[in-house]
Chains A and B, each alone.
Chain A
Amino acid sequence: MRHFNGVIVVFERQMVRYWRHKLRWLVALVTPLFFLLFLSVGLKHIQLPGIEENYLVFSAPGIILMTVLFHSMFTGVELIFERQFGFLKETLIAPIPRWEAILGKVLGGAVIGLIQGILMTFVAILAGMPIISFLGVIKAFFFLFLTGMASTAIGVAFAVKIHDTQGFVLIVNLVLFPLFFLSGALFPFTTAPWWLKFLVQLNPITYGVEGTRAALTGIQQIGFVNCALVLFFFTVVVVWFSAKMFETVEE
Chain B
Amino acid sequence: MSDFAIVSDAVTKRYNGFEALKGVSLRIPRGVVFGLLGPNGAGKTTLLSIFTTLKRANSGSVIVEGFDVQKEKYSVRKLQGVVFQDSSHDGELTAFENLFFHAKLYGMPSDKSRKKILDVLELVGLSDRKDDFVNTFSGGMRRRMEIARALVHEPKILYLDEPTTGLDPQTRNHLWEYLKNLRGTTTIVLTTHYMDEAEKLCDIIAVIDHGSIIAQGNSDDLKRIVGGEVILVRSSDNIIPVLKRSKFKCSVDKHNGIFEIRVDNAEKSIAKILRVLERAGVKISGVDVHRTTLEDVFLHLTGKSLREESPVDFETKSYTNLGRVN
Chain A residues in contact with chain B, CB under 8 A?
2, 5-6, 8-9, 12-13, 16-17, 20, 82, 85-97, 250-251
B87 touches A96 (CB 8 A): no
For window 42-71 of B, CB contacts with A under 8 Å fall at 49, 52-56
Residues of A within 8 A of B88 (CB): 85-90
Q: Contact: B93 with A93, CB < 8 Å?
A: no
Whether B89 and A16, one on each chain, are in contact in the complex, defined by CB atoms closer than 8 angstroms, is no
Contact of A95 with B86 in the complex, beta carbons under 8 Å: no
17 interchain pairs, CB-CB under 8 A = A2-B107, A5-B107, A13-B93, A16-B97, A20-B92, A85-B87, A85-B89, A87-B88, A87-B90, A90-B102, A93-B54, A93-B80, A94-B77, A94-B102, A95-B74, A95-B105, A251-B54
Q: Does B22 contact A (CB under 8 A)?
A: no
B125 at interface, CB cutoff 8 A: no
Total A-B contacts with CB atoms under 8 angstroms apart: 69
Kindly report which residue of chain A lies nearest to residue B80, judged by CB atoms.
Answer: A93
Which A-B residue pairs are the 7 nearest by beta carbons?
A95-B77, A86-B88, A94-B105, A95-B78, A9-B104, A89-B88, A95-B74
Nearest Cβ in chain B — how far from A26, in angstroms? 18
Residues of A within 8 A of B90 (CB): 13, 82, 85, 87
User: Could you tell me the dominant secondary structure of chain B's interface residues?
Assistant: loop
Could you give, for residues 69-84 of chain B, a 1 whenever the CB lies within 8 Å of some chain A CB and a 0 otherwise?
A: 0000010011010101
Docked-complex contact A86 and B84, CB < 8 angstroms: yes
Q: How far is the CA of A20 from the CA of B97 in the complex (A)?
A: 13
Minimum CB–CB distance for B161 against chain A, Å: 11
> CA–CA, A20 to B134, complex, Å?
14
CB-CB under 8 A for A89 and B84, given A13-B101, A95-B106: yes
Check A86 against B106 for contact (C-beta < 8 Å): no
Q: Is B29 an interface residue (CB 8 A)?
A: no
Kindly report which residue of chain A lies nearest to residue B88, judged by CB atoms.
Answer: A86
Closest partner residue, chain A, to B73 (CB atom): A95
Q: Cβ of B91 < 8 Å from any Cβ of A?
A: yes
CB of A230, distance to nearest CB on chain B (Å): 35
Q: Could you tell me if A86 and B92 are in contact, using CB atoms closer than 8 angstroms?
A: no
The residue of chain B having its C-beta at the shortest distance from the C-beta of A87 within the complex is B90
Find out whether the CB atom of A6 lies under 8 angstroms from the CB atom of B105: yes
B residues neighboring A (CB under 8 Å): 49, 52-56, 74, 77-78, 80, 82, 84, 86-93, 97, 101-102, 104-107
Alpha-carbon gap, A87 to B84, bound state (A): 10
A2 to B104, CA, bound (A): 11
- With A5-B105, A5-B107, A85-B87 known as contacts, the answer to whether A93 contacts B55 (CB < 8 A) is no
Q: Which residues of B contact A6 (CB under 8 A)?
A: 105
Residues of B within 8 A of A2 (CB): 107
**CA of A6 to CA of B54, assembled, Å:** 17
Q: How far is the CB of A247 from chain B (nearest CB, A)?
A: 12
- Please give, as numbers and ranges, the residues of chain B lying within 8 Å of A95 by CB-CB distance: 74, 77-78, 105-107
- Assembled-state Cα–Cα distance A2/B108 (Å): 11
Q: Which residues of A contact B84 (CB under 8 A)?
A: 86, 89
For residue B52, which residues in chain A have a CB less than 8 angstroms away from its CB? 93
Kindly identify which residue among A89, A91, A94, A251 contacts B106, using a CB–CB cutoff of 8 Å: A94
User: A2-B107, A5-B107, A89-B54 are known contacts; what are 18 more A-B pairs with Cβ within 8 Å?
Assistant: A12-B104, A13-B93, A16-B93, A20-B92, A82-B90, A85-B87, A86-B84, A86-B86, A86-B89, A88-B88, A89-B84, A91-B105, A94-B106, A95-B77, A96-B105, A250-B56, A251-B49, A251-B54
- Tell me which of A8, A17, A93, A251 has the highest count of chain B C-beta atoms within 10 A of its own C-beta: A93
**Other-chain contact of B101, A12, A82, A86 (Cβ < 8 Å):** A12
Contact B89 A93 (CB under 8 A): no
Closest A residue to B85 using CB positions: A86
A87-B88, A89-B88, A95-B74 are contacts. A5–B55 as well, Cβ < 8 Å?
A: no
Q: Which residue of A lies closest to B89 (CB)?
A: A87
Q: In whole Å, how far is A227's beta carbon from the nearest beta carbon of chain B?
A: 37
Given A85-B90, A87-B90, A92:B101 Cβ within 8 A:
no
Min CB–CB distance A78 → chain B (angstroms): 10
Across the interface, which residues of B come within 8 angstroms of A13, CB to CB?
Answer: 90, 93, 97, 101
Across the interface, A9 reaches (CB within 8 A) one of B55, B78, B89, B105, namely: B105
